[in-house]
Amino acid sequence: MASFETKVFALILTTVYSALSAPVNNGEHAVSFSVGLANTQRVYNKDTILYDNVFVNEHNGYSTSTGIFTCPIPGLYVFHFHAYSSNKDTIMWLELVHNDRAVVSVSGYNSHTVGSQTVMLKLRKGDRVQIQSKEFQEFALFGLNDQIYSTFTGYIIHEDPNQHLSDSSSFVGK
């Protein structure tokens, strides 16, 4: 039976592999980022997670100072996030937020909580995507330089140069 750490590491490797092998637009319009927590971060009421270890940041869409990915090229994007909290008797609850609107969530209770989520979004230039703690929640996301468990990855599937600013649809299929 694989250890907890081995399972989490395998999940992170799978995410990075899918980000690197996905059929994205290659060349000057390829947008991708992958970041992780190399230090434990205590989060409170609706805090944005500030991932401090940058693996990839093509087009510099992700800001380590704000924790926000700002879309440089309109198109269809995939986002993955994974979180690990080692708190006892607390709830870990995170949301992927697109332009101030929660899209998907992960939640868990008690020690050694792990959560993962994947979503595909249609973004316009300037749209913002971030990982945020749920309102009224307080917990810590665990991380060390040699133990990165919590990650946030995004990449463009295909560009949409004809997308109009007046197009208010943000979800695929809407």
Is 60 domain-assigned?
yes
Q: Which domain holds residue 30?
A: 4-159
pLDDT value for 13: 54
Is 167 domain-assigned?
no
pLDDT value for 172: 46
Length of the chain: 174
Is 169 domain-assigned?
no
Is 173 domain-assigned?
no
C-alpha to C-alpha distance for 154 and 91, rounded to whole angstroms: 25
The pLDDT tens digits along the chain (174 residues) read 666 666 655 665 565 555 445 544 555 678 999 999 999 999 988 999 999 999 999 999 999 999 999 999 999 999 999 999 987 778 889 999 999 999 999 998 877 889 999 999 999 999 999 999 998 888 889 999 999 999 999 999 999 877 644 444 444 444
Is 28 domain-assigned?
yes
Is 152 domain-assigned?
yes
Is 80 domain-assigned?
yes
CATH code at position 154: 2.60.120.40
C-alpha to C-alpha distance for 77 and 90, rounded to whole angstroms: 32
Give which of 166, 172, 157, 17 is closest to 103, Cα–Cα.
172
pLDDT value for 8: 56
165: burial class by Cβ within 10 Å (0-12, 13-18, 19+)?
Answer: exposed
Give which of 63, 132, 138 is closest to 104, Cα–Cα.
132
pLDDT value for 35: 98
As for how many domains the chain has, the answer is 1
Q: How many CB atoms lie within 10 A of CB 7?
A: 12
